[in-house]
Structure 1
Amino acid sequence: MTHPLPQLHRLFLTDGGLETDLIYRHGVDLPGFAAITLLASDEGRAVLGAYFRSYLDFARRAGTGFVLESASWRASLDWAPQLGLAPAELDRLNARSVEMLNALRDDYATPATPVVVSGCIGPRGDGYDPGRIMSASEAEAYHLRQAAALAAAGPDLLTAMTITNVSEAIGIARAAEKVGLRFVLSFTVETDGRLPTGDGLGEAIRAVDHATSGYPAYYMINCAHPDHFAAALAKGGGWTARIGGIRANASRCSHAELDVMTELDDGDPVGLAEAYRRLRAQLPKLNVLGGCCGTDQRHIEAIAAACLGAPIACAA
């Protein structure tokens, strides 16, 4: 907590949709959509290492910072039995997911291309459906174990991804504060720009800020296409200055439609990049640019080119 997050002040990239990329483009088996299982074997760690190094190599060529997000989105306690893991083993894999990224940061970070390591926390249930909504105190108690396991490995911050409801968001923020780490909160929205619970994005951000004394360093939106939330952002309001990152879906389909698809919809990388360029012109604090479901390095390269406004050298 003693040094500032560099992504608050300059452009950072992050990766695309890790799980969909590995499953659909690389043929990797991820039980329960849980990339954390790869940390259990040398082969799986090699797959993750190659995935992240490819992005880091590109960020170095682009001259941007990079946020490394741990492969722990689906690695909280309720998922342990579904993944065939004992709780203590899941704790170890959470820590290992951060340790891998710390080593990559040591290899790649320079003053010109800083690298930030984030421990990723996902929702207790499904990323598309809020299901049974916990109280904020219940959410804090539930997520504290994973937050502590990630924190023990020394990330720069924690990030909660694909959060569907306000009370769970508040609980995770409080868990992050309890383990002494800075925190970023990313909501998902439906095609109407509202959370799956029906709450407006601005209402949700204001509610979390009020309940946590503004603890999140910034907010993000992920797992939705820019077409779904651009209108909500265009209405403006002070809350939009709290948006610091976007990790959009490649597809314009709804969550319900994506849930039943058997093939990947990777959308239009160039069109998605242009949407990011417009959002960055509109949002003064939007510095972290990445992708979610259906996106891969092609999308991130297009987004970087559109937002930097200059060609980026090809790999040697």
Structure 2
Amino acid sequence: MAAATLHQLDRPFLTDAGLETDILFNRGIDLPHFASITLLQTDEGRQALEDYFSGFIELARRMDTGLILESATWRASLDWAEPLGLSREELDALNNEAVSLLICLREKAPAGLPIIISGCIGPRGDGYDPGRIMRPEEAEAYHFHQAKVLVAAGADMLSGITMTNVPEAIGLARAARKSGASVAISFTVETDGHLPTGEELRDAIATVDESTASYPAYYMINCAHPTHIASSLEDGAAWTERVRGLRANASRCTHAELDAMTELDKGDPVELAELHRQLKEAFPQLTILGGCCGTDLGHVTAIAEACFSHCAVVWPAISSATASLRAG
């Protein structure tokens, strides 16, 4: 089974779902500091990861799509070593193992299934609150360490997931370039479609592209409901073509509300899939779809069946679809 390459992304690709919320709430396994990297410290945790990812491999096979597998390293950069009770060397080893696990799963996958292994890099701080914002140079220096570990482990590309602010996204993109890897930058947005720092998505993408010579291979949006995401996209705008993927939350709640929850809000998978279908109709360049907080294999299955069951059909440009989402 050979790795897929980024030039193949014009075909549909699935991603996984909300790994951490699935493991915590659906599988009952504790994740200190919401760090799925800790699963690799035990046989039980490793098996849980293999079981989790195997479901998405089977879904991609059934739907005849490609698949992007994100390593369980979203909260595994250097600042998290001490809170997790790890040395830097131990954390590096777990980052390496997270990629190795995905390589093993790809080797066992059905022949001909295009799989891209992505080294996942999360924000230095909280995924909902930008907190102290680094300068791009500081962010580059910080994220380069994890980037080079993931690339050395065999990741095909890197993904900056749940980016809350522009300077960190710039630094991460530069760190990826320094490591020699392609990178996708995925911003999160609030209910008004703006970044947590208040910028509009169009301005955030423009600034990152201007500051990195358009180094990111593409952009994504994650950790927001489709009704929040729709208000951040612009019909017919050239910049919107840079947004290739969505990993939405199941819940319509705000980030602050989600942060305070003690029970999982799974939302309505059928409605979630329909909203994705409408977004896909309005923005045909969205070829990469998956899930984020509160979603699991069932949600992504519903999304895939709604959006990719008739991939040969040319999606009509229906601006009313976007309007109905924004009215959400």
Match of 2:191 in 1: 191
Tell me, yes or no, if the aligned pair for 1:151 and 1:179 is still in contact at 8 Å: yes
Match of 1:54 in 2: 55
Secondary structure of the 1:210 match is helix
CA distance in 1, matches of 2:153, 2:110: 18
Q: Deviations over 1:131-175 (max 9, x none)?
A: 000000000001111101111111110000000000000000000
Amino acid at match of 2:51: A
Match of 1:253 in 2: 253
Tell me, yes or no, if the aligned pair for 1:270 and 1:302 is still in contact at 8 Å: yes
Tell me, yes or no, if the aligned pair for 1:7 and 1:288 is still in contact at 8 Å: no
- Structure 1 residues 98-177: aligned runs within 5 Å: 98-108=99-109, 110-111=111-112, 113-177=113-177
Tell me, yes or no, if the aligned pair for 2:235 and 2:282 is still in contact at 8 Å: no
Match of 1:313 in 2: none
Match of 1:229 in 2: 229
Secondary structure of the 1:132 match is coil
Report the count of equivalent residues: 309
Amino acid at match of 1:155: A
CA distance in 1, matches of 2:256, 2:115: 35
Match of 2:182 in 1: 182
CA distance in 1, matches of 2:236, 2:127: 26
Q: Deviations over 1:2-21 (max 9, x none)?
A: 98415521001111100000
What do you get for the CA RMSD once the two structures are aligned? 1.5
Secondary structure of the 1:152 match is helix
CA distance in 1, matches of 2:23, 2:8: 26
Tell me, yes or no, if the aligned pair for 2:12 and 2:66 is still in contact at 8 Å: yes
CA distance in 2, matches of 1:236, 1:124: 34
Match of 2:290 in 1: 290
CA distance in 1, matches of 2:150, 2:171: 16
Secondary structure of the 1:71 match is coil
CA distance in 2, matches of 1:63, 1:3: 14
Secondary structure of the 2:293 match is coil
Tell me, yes or no, if the aligned pair for 1:249 and 1:293 is still in contact at 8 Å: yes
Match of 1:24 in 2: 25
Secondary structure of the 2:231 match is helix
Give the superposition deviation at 1:236.
4.3
Change in Cα spacing, 1:218 to 1:109, as seen in structure 2 (3 Å) is farther
Tell me, yes or no, if the aligned pair for 1:276 and 1:303 is still in contact at 8 Å: yes
Tell me, yes or no, if the aligned pair for 1:109 and 1:115 is still in contact at 8 Å: no
Give the superposition deviation at 1:93.
0.5
Q: Deviations over 1:76-128 (max 9, x none)?
A: 011111100101110110111011101111111533x2111000000000000
Amino acid at match of 1:133: I
Give the superposition deviation at 1:281.
1.4
Amino acid at match of 1:25: N
Secondary structure of the 2:186 match is strand
Give the superposition deviation at 1:308.
2.1
Match of 1:39 in 2: 40
Match of 1:299 in 2: 299
Q: If the length of structure 2 is used for normalisation, what is the TM-score?
A: 0.91
CA distance in 2, matches of 1:109, 1:119: 22
Tell me, yes or no, if the aligned pair for 2:5 and 2:116 is still in contact at 8 Å: no
Amino acid at match of 1:88: E
CA distance in 2, matches of 1:87, 1:179: 19
Give the superposition deviation at 1:238.
1.1
Match of 1:314 in 2: none
Amino acid at match of 2:64: G
Amino acid at match of 1:134: M
Tell me, yes or no, if the aligned pair for 1:248 and 1:291 is still in contact at 8 Å: yes
Tell me, yes or no, if the aligned pair for 1:13 and 1:289 is still in contact at 8 Å: yes
Amino acid at match of 2:240: T
Amino acid at match of 1:186: S
1:85 matched to 2:90? The reply is: no
Gap regions ≥5 residues in structure 2:
311-328
Gap regions ≥5 residues in structure 1:
311-316
CA distance in 1, matches of 2:260, 2:4: 44
